[in-house]
Structure 1
Amino acid sequence: MWLLSVLVPLLRLYLCGMKVLFYQMFNRSFTLPVLPKQNGRAAIVTGGTRGMGFETAKHLASLGMHVIIAGNEREEGAEAVRKIHDENGKGKAEFVFVDLTSLKSVRQFAQTFIDRGLPLHVLVNNAGTMLVPERLTEDGFEFHFCLNYLGHFLLTNLLLDLLKKSGKQGCCSRIVNMSSATHYAGVIDMEDLNRRICYSSHGAYSQSKLALVLFTYFLQEQLTAGGFAVTVNAVDPGMVDTALYDNLWSLAQALKKPVAKTLFRTPAEGASISVYAAAAAEMEGVGGCYLYNGVKTQSSDLSYDSELQVKLWKKSCELVGLQKT
């Protein structure tokens, strides 16, 4: 039983990966259209110090946005800001510390940002980790679940009023959640979200990415019902050559290197989907979508389960100490 509970998530996840690679073998990466200038708009990009997060932050800054890079590596953050300023000249970027595995840190970050009196037009929930060994955060949450999903759930809710105030009809505020094709392999166990009964890093990662899609759809439904000028979409960058894959098994790591050179997307190519969702004119007023390679795509059947969406929302509110709605 234990072996099956570990092998099944692993096989499901790698099958998803093979399907994505097969697609990327025969299809070019999405090319961004010409994007409108974003002067006067402000964005937060979590995990923006490297990889797709950095490329997203850099591109948004080049469009005229004031970009706040939120991350937990101060030196990397300073270097990322320097690179953006050197490459863009007019681009405005800054680094602010946040540890998404700490609910206290997320609350401090959100309150500090709100106290500055800045507007917030774009929130890109990009930070994430993949296939790390079993570990718990300081608040007792499984690491993937907290970093990839729960920290972003709290951050989004704490900043939601500001996003609502900053958006207006015809110029909505936008929330972008970084999911993954691995969500198709995901299963939500409402009785064991922390995966304590039988841990699988593959299952934990897939669950966290599915949770983001469920969160996306439920939040958009609430925003639409309230008539707020805020949209939220989930994006899937495909398989991208980033540090996320550093935790693969040794054999898989060895096989990945030659494959990545020819079939994986570059970080800039992967980031194009986030940038598109955050700034494209075609996405104005469009929410509740799962975007893959620039196209609105059907996500997993489970992600459309409205009852599961409600259950996860209420449980997440309980876990982070938010009033349930």
Structure 2
Amino acid sequence: MWLLAVILPLLRVYFIGVKVLIYQLLHKPFTLPVLPRLNGRVAIVTGGAKGIGYETSRHLASLGMHVVIAGNKEEEGLKAVKKIQEESGHRKVEFMYLDLASLKSVRQFVQKYKARSLPLHTLVNNAGVMLVPERKTEDGFELHFGLNYLGHFLLTNLLLDVLRDSGQSGKCSRIVTVSSATHYGGQLNLNGLQGRSCYSSHGAYSQSKLALVLFTYHLQEQLWARGDPVTANAVDPGMVDTDLYQNLCAPAQLAKKPVAKLLFRTPAEGASTAVYAAAATELEGLGGLYLYNGQNKTSSASSYDKQLQEKLWTKSCAMVLLQET
């Protein structure tokens, strides 16, 4: 039982990782097209102070957007703000505190944001943890599921009215959610989302990334049904050389170093598809996509299971005490 619960998810993740590395060996990184100026538009980027999030924030700021970096480390966030401002000369970059592992913090963030009466044209759900040893969020949820998925689920739902009010026909607001190729090996356990008797950090991470894709697809169906001027897409950055890999076991860390130099994408390359989803003119009005290396790809078979999407949505609403719509 232990072998099935712990070893199999690990093998699935490493098998998927090898496939991604082979793809990255054979294909050039996606090059962003010329993007339109986005002066006067506002974006929130979670985890926008480092790695892929920082590069996303930096690029959106370079297009003239007012960028709010949302994160749980103030000093790191303020440094990122200062660096972007100095590099670009663009002053409309700021930090706001948000701890996605706390539902209370998510609600406080949204309350403070709405009190400023700012519009919101782009929400980039980027923040995440990977392969962390078994831990719980403030609210008692397994950390990967609670932070990577559930915190973003609540954040997005609480900001939907602002996104809706800020969008218009022909110029939709956009929700961009960063998933991962590991979602292909993810198995959603609706009866055990708060932890497992035989804990696998690989299984937990994959599950959280699958949940994000399921959520994106179901959300887009709801947006279309209501005729809201908002689109929701999931993006896969590929394997990117960031701090997320710090929780690999020692042998894997040693193996990663030379491989990363040769085959991993840089944070800027990893961020390119998220930036594309947030800003490209050709994606106007398009939602429910899974974008990888700048192209729409087919996600896992289970991610298209509408019954599973609906069950996850209902369960998530109950977990965060949100009235289901």
TM-score above 0.5 = yes
How far residue 90 of structure 1 moved from its aligned partner, in angstroms, is 2.5
CA RMSD of aligned residues (A): 0.6
- In structure 2, the residue matched to 1:180 is 180
- In structure 2, the residue matched to 1:270 is 270
How far residue 91 of structure 1 moved from its aligned partner, in angstroms, is 4.9
Counting only pairs closer than 5 Å after superposition, residues 192-207 of structure 1 correspond to structure 2 as: 192-207=192-207
CA contact 2:24–2:264 (8 Å) conserved in 1: yes
- In structure 1, the residue matched to 2:50 is 50
- In structure 2, the residue matched to 1:133 is 133
CA contact 1:122–1:174 (8 Å) conserved in 2: yes
CA contact 1:64–1:91 (8 Å) conserved in 2: no
- 1:52-95: CA deviation from partner (whole Å, max 9, x where unpaired): 00000000001000000000011101100001001100252000
- In structure 2, the residue matched to 1:302 is 302
How far residue 38 of structure 1 moved from its aligned partner, in angstroms, is 0.3
Q: Percent identity?
A: 69
- In structure 2, the residue matched to 1:103 is 103
- In structure 1, the residue matched to 2:113 is 113
- In structure 1, the residue matched to 2:67 is 67
Under a length normalisation based on structure 1, what TM-score does the superposition of the two structures give? 0.99
Is 1:211 paired with 2:190? no
Equivalent-residue separation in structure 1 for 2:195 and 2:266 (angstroms):
32
How far residue 2 of structure 1 moved from its aligned partner, in angstroms, is 1.1
Equivalent-residue separation in structure 2 for 1:240 and 1:261 (angstroms):
10
- In structure 2, the residue matched to 1:221 is 221
Paired residues, number: 325
CA contact 1:65–1:91 (8 Å) conserved in 2: no
CA contact 2:84–2:90 (8 Å) conserved in 1: no
Equivalent-residue separation in structure 2 for 1:236 and 1:91 (angstroms):
30
How far residue 196 of structure 1 moved from its aligned partner, in angstroms, is 2.6
How far residue 195 of structure 1 moved from its aligned partner, in angstroms, is 2.4
- In structure 1, the residue matched to 2:314 is 314
- 1:287-314: CA deviation from partner (whole Å, max 9, x where unpaired): 0000000000000000000000000000
Equivalent-residue separation in structure 2 for 1:250 and 1:197 (angstroms):
25
Which residue type is aligned with residue 62 of structure 1?
A: S
CA contact 1:73–1:97 (8 Å) conserved in 2: yes
Equivalent-residue separation in structure 1 for 2:208 and 2:4 (angstroms):
20
Is 1:291 paired with 2:291? yes
Which residue type is aligned with residue 313 of structure 2?
A: W
Tell me the SS of whatever aligns to 1:83: helix
Is 1:3 paired with 2:3? yes
Unpaired runs of at least 5, structure 1: none
How far residue 197 of structure 1 moved from its aligned partner, in angstroms, is 2.4
Which residue type is aligned with residue 8 of structure 2?
A: V
Which residue type is aligned with residue 232 of structure 2?
A: V
- 1:191-242: CA deviation from partner (whole Å, max 9, x where unpaired): 0012232210000000000000000000000000100100000000000000
- 1:228-286: CA deviation from partner (whole Å, max 9, x where unpaired): 10000000000000000000010000000000001000000000010000000011111
Unpaired runs of at least 5, structure 2: none
Equivalent-residue separation in structure 2 for 1:170 and 1:40 (angstroms):
16
CA contact 2:74–2:97 (8 Å) conserved in 1: yes
CA contact 1:232–1:288 (8 Å) conserved in 2: yes
Equivalent-residue separation in structure 1 for 2:187 and 2:197 (angstroms):
14
Tell me the SS of whatever aligns to 1:148: helix
CA contact 1:62–1:91 (8 Å) conserved in 2: no
